[in-house]
Amino acid sequence: MSETVVVGGGAVGCAVARALALEGVVVHLFEEGRPGRKATWAGAGMLSPLGEALDEGPLLDLALRSLRMYPQFVQALEEETGLRLGYRASGKVLVGFDEGEESALRTRAAWGRRHGFGTEWISAGELRTRIPGISEKVRGGLLIPEDHQVENRTLGPALWSAAERAGATMEMERTVSELVCESGRVVGVRLDDGILRHAERVVVAAGAWSGRVPGVPVSVPVRPVRGQIVALRPDACATPLMAASSKVYLVPREDGRLLVGATMEEVGFDERVTAEGVLGMLQGALELLPSLGTAAIEEVWAGLRPATPDGLPVLGPDPEVNDLFYATGHFRNGILLAPVTGNLLRDLILGRTPSTPARPFLPDRFRERT
Ligand SMILES: Cc1cc2nc3c(=O)[nH]c(=O)nc-3n(C[C@H](O)[C@H](O)[C@H](O)COP(=O)(O)OP(=O)(O)OC[C@H]3O[C@@H](n4cnc5c(N)ncnc54)[C@H](O)[C@@H]3O)c2cc1C
């Protein structure tokens, strides 16, 4: 039977595989390593369209749509897999240290309120009642109740298992070594053992590696941007809220760990953790919450975000090769955008009118520019 092949088993590839399989499409996903062990595992799990300070436009609209899908998405995944995804409507605060930061955050609070969000500027005193150890130098903060979080290290395996339960065939430790095209259409993929797997269509969801799969037209420019994270274990709960300054963010986990992230580095496919990266994050964290000085360092890691030249994900059909689709380039928000991406790709592939506008994210925008 002809099938749809998905390349890549991160949150994005698995979300697409699940959405298609739930519609009865025959799906075969190939993952080079273990399920969700690349950027999906390395992320901080923030569902944070407003806290990420996304500007008004199609990406913010897409992100808010995905955020609204999250409670139901998590409930369905938990029922389908029996895994707990640690979804929490914990809220986030962006703190200001000087007049310039305060003024920008106050403007953002007002913008949020005009658009119906619960954003508000809170004074330094009120901030201290919520996060007692916060620095004396902080002038106050922008509170964003709408920003939530999920345990992304469970999300990857949960999506994998949910796609499998929906009927998709999921193979790990299988590298797609080439996309095979004939007469302007994709006809399958070649695997690491040389076997040609025929396919009716192929979806490239290989994260930062999407532009590297041999046979992928160079017109989809996805590049890696490294992010490092330090996981601390403070003596007691350091902050119940996610908190961020202009230098770092802090994400409290249910297990008592506090994630400090993240660097943004253009270093190619280098996934190492560096002394400079860790030092910068620890300095930023202690500047925000001096009490973290006594916290134990439990883990450090790095991952590669899939970035695009215009900061928007690449979602939809290749402009030149028929039956080839992309679901990639989610950069800092792939955990947040996984639900909406699954549905959008499903609709585009099945020829339905997508409930989310697809135009801004179509791959042909790169062709139009050259
Ligand atoms: C430090 C850091 C913090 C982040 N924080 C957040 C956050 O708080 N919130 C948020 O929403 N996002 C966050 N992100 C971004 C988010 O993690 C990514 O956007 C998202 O995980 C991308 O998912 P993906 O499935 O496209 O990529 P990946 O998870 O990288 O998956 C791609 C998969 O494709 C596989 N693959 C590659 N090539 C092949 C091949 N040839 N054959 C078969 N398989 C292949 C890889 O092995 C990999 O498993 C963060 C990222 C980092 C690095």
What DSSP line would sit under 315-348, residue for residue?
EEE-SSSBTEEEEE--GGGHHHHHHHHHHHHHHH
CATH number, domain containing residue 176: 3.50.50.60
Q: Is residue 78 included in any domain, yes or no?
A: yes
CA of 323 to the centre of ligand 1 (A): 23
228 & 303 share domain: yes
Minimum CA distance residue for ligand 1 atom 18: 334
156 & 65 share domain: yes
Q: Which residues contact 79 (CB under 8 A, 6 or more apart)?
A: none
For ligand 1, is residue 41 a contact (CB within 6 Å)? no
For ligand 1, is residue 157 a contact (CB within 6 Å)? no
CA of 247 to the centre of ligand 1 (A): 22
Q: Is residue 217 included in any domain, yes or no?
A: yes
CA of 77 to the centre of ligand 1 (A): 19
CATH number, domain containing residue 138: 3.30.9.10
d(CA 14, CA 172): 12
For ligand 1, is residue 131 a contact (CB within 6 Å)? no
Count of structural domains within the chain: 2
**Strand pairing report for 4-7 and 27-30:** parallel
For ligand 1, is residue 147 a contact (CB within 6 Å)? no
Ligand 1 atom nearest residue 177's Cα: 41
Q: Is residue 147 included in any domain, yes or no?
A: no
Q: Quote the tokens at residue 116.
A: 């119906």
Contact predicate 185/179, CB 8 Å: no
Q: Is residue 68 included in any domain, yes or no?
A: yes
Q: Is residue 231 included in any domain, yes or no?
A: yes
Ligand 1: which of 6, 12, 90 to mutate, most ligand atoms within 8 Å of CB? 12
For ligand 1, is residue 59 a contact (CB within 6 Å)? no
Out of 254, 272, 307, pick the residue that ends a domain.
307
Q: How many CB atoms lie within 10 A of CB 197?
A: 18
Residue type, 102: E
Can you give the pLDDT at residue 364? Answer: 92
16 & 35 share domain: yes
Out of 307, 337, 361, pick the residue that ends a domain.
307
Ligand 1 atom nearest residue 338's Cα: 23
Q: Is residue 321 included in any domain, yes or no?
A: yes
Q: How many CB atoms lie within 10 A of CB 215?
A: 17
d(CA 319, CA 140): 48
246 & 303 share domain: yes
291 & 157 share domain: no
Please compute, for residue 240, the number of CA atoms within 13 A of its CA located in the half-sphere on the CB side.
9
Q: Quote the tokens at residue 3.
A: 């099938």
Judged by DSSP in three states, 46 sits in strand
158 & 303 share domain: no
DSSP state of 353: P
216 & 334 share domain: yes
Q: Evaluate the CA torsion angle 300, 84, 118, 239 in order and state its sign.
A: negative
234 & 321 share domain: no
For ligand 1, is residue 13 a contact (CB within 6 Å)? yes
d(CA 171, CA 89): 33
Ligand 1 atom nearest residue 334's Cα: 19
Ligand 1 atom nearest residue 175's Cα: 42
Residue with tokens 């003024």: 103
Per-residue confidence in pLDDT tens, the chain, 370 aa: 569 999 999 999 999 999 999 999 999 999 999 999 999 999 999 999 988 877 889 999 999 999 999 999 999 999 999 999 999 998 999 999 999 999 999 999 998 898 889 999 999 999 999 999 999 999 999 999 999 999 999 999 999 999 999 999 999 999 999 999 999 999 999 999 999 999 999 999 999 999 999 988 766 899 999 999 999 999 888 899 999 999 999 999 999 999 999 999 999 999 999 999 999 999 999 999 999 999 999 999 999 999 999 999 999 999 999 999 999 999 999 999 999 999 999 999 999 999 889 999 999 998 754 4
Range of the domain at 350: 4-82+152-222+309-369
d(CA 255, CA 272): 25
Ligand 1: which of 38, 52, 64, 85 to mutate, most ligand atoms within 8 Å of CB? 38
216 & 229 share domain: no
Contact predicate 106/140, CB 8 Å: no
Judged by DSSP in three states, 158 sits in helix
Minimum CA distance residue for ligand 1 atom 53: 303
Q: Quote the tokens at residue 40.
A: 């999906």
Q: Quote the tokens at residue 286.
A: 């202690």
CA of 63 to the centre of ligand 1 (A): 17
d(CA 158, CA 342): 14
d(CA 176, CA 7): 7
Can you give the pLDDT at residue 355? Answer: 86
Residue with tokens 């998590």: 74
Q: State phi, psi for 300 to the nearest 5 degrees.
A: -130, 145
Can you give the pLDDT at residue 267? Answer: 98
Q: Is residue 87 included in any domain, yes or no?
A: no
Nearest Cα neighbor of 249 from 219, 212, 289, 211 is 289
130 & 164 share domain: no
Ligand 1: which of 220, 332, 340, 345 to mutate, most ligand atoms within 8 Å of CB? 332
Contact predicate 316/358, CB 8 Å: yes
Q: How many CB atoms lie within 10 A of CB 13?
A: 34
Ligand 1 atom nearest residue 262's Cα: 1
157 & 76 share domain: yes
For ligand 1, is residue 336 a contact (CB within 6 Å)? yes
CA of 305 to the centre of ligand 1 (A): 6
d(CA 119, CA 108): 8
Burial pattern 238-265, b for ≥16 Cβ within 10 A else e, equals bbebbbbbeebbbbbbeeebbbbbbbeb
29 & 64 share domain: yes
Q: pTM of the entire structure?
A: 0.97
For ligand 1, is residue 8 a contact (CB within 6 Å)? yes
For ligand 1, is residue 150 a contact (CB within 6 Å)? no
Contact predicate 306/329, CB 8 Å: yes
Can you give the pLDDT at residue 217? Answer: 76
For ligand 1, is residue 31 a contact (CB within 6 Å)? yes
Out of 279, 307, 335, pick the residue that ends a domain.
307
For ligand 1, is residue 334 a contact (CB within 6 Å)? yes
Residue with tokens 């595989």: 17
**Strand pairing report for 176-182 and 185-191:** antiparallel
Residue with tokens 């590696």: 209
Q: Quote the tokens at residue 71.
A: 């409670």
For ligand 1, is residue 175 a contact (CB within 6 Å)? yes
